Chains A and B, each alone.
Chain A
């Protein structure tokens, strides 16, 4: 039982990380590198959108991701009763 619970906790941890890292990848490597030329055809105020993601947007998203991660992990810790 203990072991099963630990396994389930770890699975949920991995799932959370994976979901957040997909966003991380799409925003930085997707918008800022791979598809930057395509997004640059879209104007975003005084910016081109791809340029904005590469120099500003991705950093804001990184920040949100870490705080969301910390919050969700704390909830998962409590759910599985492994919090400190």
Chain B
């Protein structure tokens, strides 16, 4: 079947599945809307958590980050998985025993303070919107590339789908669609990876192929790399030959910054509200513990495959494009060329990726603006090496084409560093590593269609989880527990039905705002990710840990800790990223991405001293802490 029809088929079938599940699992009460009635099986919750957690960024960008950063990317790989160890041991079981609906619920009740509750609500909303804008953008990118509609139409279609199952089904609908979305996204991620691993190393498992040897010899432009070389050695050697200052398996970020970044990502992960809230949906404390293990298992499948994909992709890029003649390689296949290409794909002695007309993917991605080639030495061949080909992102000269058929650029040329044998001529956006990988490796069409459906599943599942957290913190925490609080009883004046309606309206409004942010993304989307993790690490993580492990922690300590941690982290990131755009403002050379760790340390210190200088929390609060430490008696999550 044609590639385009296959993509429509795969994406359409997956959407029909999600909507079907939403109708089947419509929420009837606030308990079902917020925490799926607290009856989700731990394995199902593990899958839903994995889909919730693995966003468009994990699916589309992570392998690109790994491929670009080499060993330094370990901070992301460890940070985004190691947080689950903290979550399993320090947060999930106790919060499940506490048995409420939201993270602000815990903060407000444990610290007997509506100020603390409101601060928590504001943080939840800020962190979640930061994230959701990126998801909607991811949906737009996948739509525009694979379905050939424009990005904005893609965002609107994505909003429509999320609207149906998040507003209708709430947490219950989201949970079961996330289980389905996990299956789609993990299959879509691993199948191309297995193909790649087989192609490059002959090993079935990418995790083993990563440490395996290459099945082919190739010319990296400077020397011939013989078959039987280890993948990573081939990469290291090629990096050295092509002028990179460090090899693929060497680090440049420095121990101190890598350490701080890893801590911030781990504690941020454990403190993200949309992840924490998933553990409110399982029936017991015991289930909450094991469910974190299942979640990490399902996440680890992607996270251990990803570095292999990054390495294979980098190797393939050098092998397939170095010194290839652009015009012949990217032309449309004539009938004879098409049969020659097919014959080459069946003949292991020929590198099918380099024969005439095998490189049409290069032109497709050039058209999308994520890839660009500037023939700096005028030889009509592509050269790839260290350094930027030209200044900044590609600025194409309208639709004008150069002598080889390449899109012309108006960018200022950047000369190669002195003494470098080969000059780099290629710009590639890191996002194409996953999206274009199947094409780069000339895999069958259905694999490409699968990747499109997988990217959408990853973006939609995370967006839905975030939107639910936003809507429940507005309807439940802000409306129910602060604005419409009955002063006499301390409970909400809203009936369950009214609150459910408020939650649905809040979800609908949140989807609208998220869509707006997706269509008009703030220019700083990439930088605000540092915000999301930094703020979660400096606020939620320590405030919850103190609430469980320090019985003496009181309202004053918690509020002072949150205020100091948040203010410090916020101001540092603003100064470092926004005010001083060159990024030269630092204290002790700390980067904005790792500053949440320092904010968290300040939070702990301030909270400790303030709490010890003020009165102990009331007896009933201390009893509550005693109670959440013991598993027995965890009933269904309830509002009161």
Contacts and interface: CB of A to CB of B under 8 A. Distances in A.
Nearest to B66: A55
Which of the listed residues A17, A46, A67, A73 has the most CB atoms from chain B within 10 Å of its own CB? A46
8 contacts: A6-B629, A48-B249, A54-B78, A65-B85, A69-B89, A77-B631, A83-B286, A84-B634
A82 B285 CA distance: 11
A6 B630 CA distance: 8
Contact of A33 (B207, B258, B300, B303): B258
Interface string B199-221: 00000000100111100000000
A47 B259 contact: no
B78 A32 contact: yes
Given A33-B255, A40-B249, A82-B632, A60 B304 contact: yes
A73 B262 CA distance: 27
Q: Interface centre among A6, A13, A60, A66, by most B CB within 10 Å?
A: A66
Contact of B289 (A10, A60, A70): A70
Given A69-B88, A70-B88, A70-B289, A84 B82 contact: no
A63 B78 contact: no
Contact of A34 (B231, B259, B293): B259
B264 interface: no
B82, B249, B292, B307, most chain A CB atoms within 10 A: B82
Contacts of B593: none
A48 B211 CA distance: 9
Given A33-B262, A36-B251, A21 B89 contact: yes
Interface stretch (B69-77, B516-524, B571-579): B69-77
A20 interface: yes
B296 interface: yes
Nearest to A55: B307
A17 B90 contact: yes
B232 interface: yes
B106 interface: no
A62 B296 contact: yes
B255 to A, nearest CB: 6
A40 B71 CA distance: 11
Interface string B80-103: 011011001110010000000000
Given A17-B90, A82-B630, A82-B632, A66 B231 contact: no
Nearest to A81: B632
Interface in B279-332: 284-286, 289-290, 292-293, 296-297, 300, 303-304, 307
Contacts of A40: 249-250
Nearest to A56: B304
Interface of B: 66, 71, 73-75, 77-78, 81-82, 84-85, 88-90, 93, 207, 210-213, 230-233, 249-251, 255, 258-259, 262, 284-286, 289-290, 292-293, 296-297, 300, 303-304, 307, 626, 629-634
A84 B373 CA distance: 63
Contacts of B633: 84
Nearest to B626: A6
A45 B213 CA distance: 10
B284 A84 contact: yes
Contacts of B71: 36, 50-51, 54-55
Given A55-B307, A84-B285, A20 B626 contact: no
A51 B90 CA distance: 28
Contact of A46 (B78, B81, B212, B297): B212
A55 B632 contact: no
Given A54-B74, A63-B297, A82-B630, A17 B89 contact: yes
Given A54-B77, A55-B73, A66-B296, 20 more contacts: A13-B629, A20-B89, A34-B259, A37-B251, A46-B230, A46-B232, A47-B211, A48-B249, A52-B211, A58-B74, A59-B304, A62-B296, A62-B300, A69-B88, A69-B293, A70-B289, A70-B293, A77-B286, A84-B286, A84-B634
Contact of A63 (B75, B255, B300, B626): B300
Contacts of B259: 29, 33-34
Contacts of B88: 66, 69-70
A70 B307 contact: no
Nearest to A21: B89
A46 B55 CA distance: 30
Nearest to B295: A66
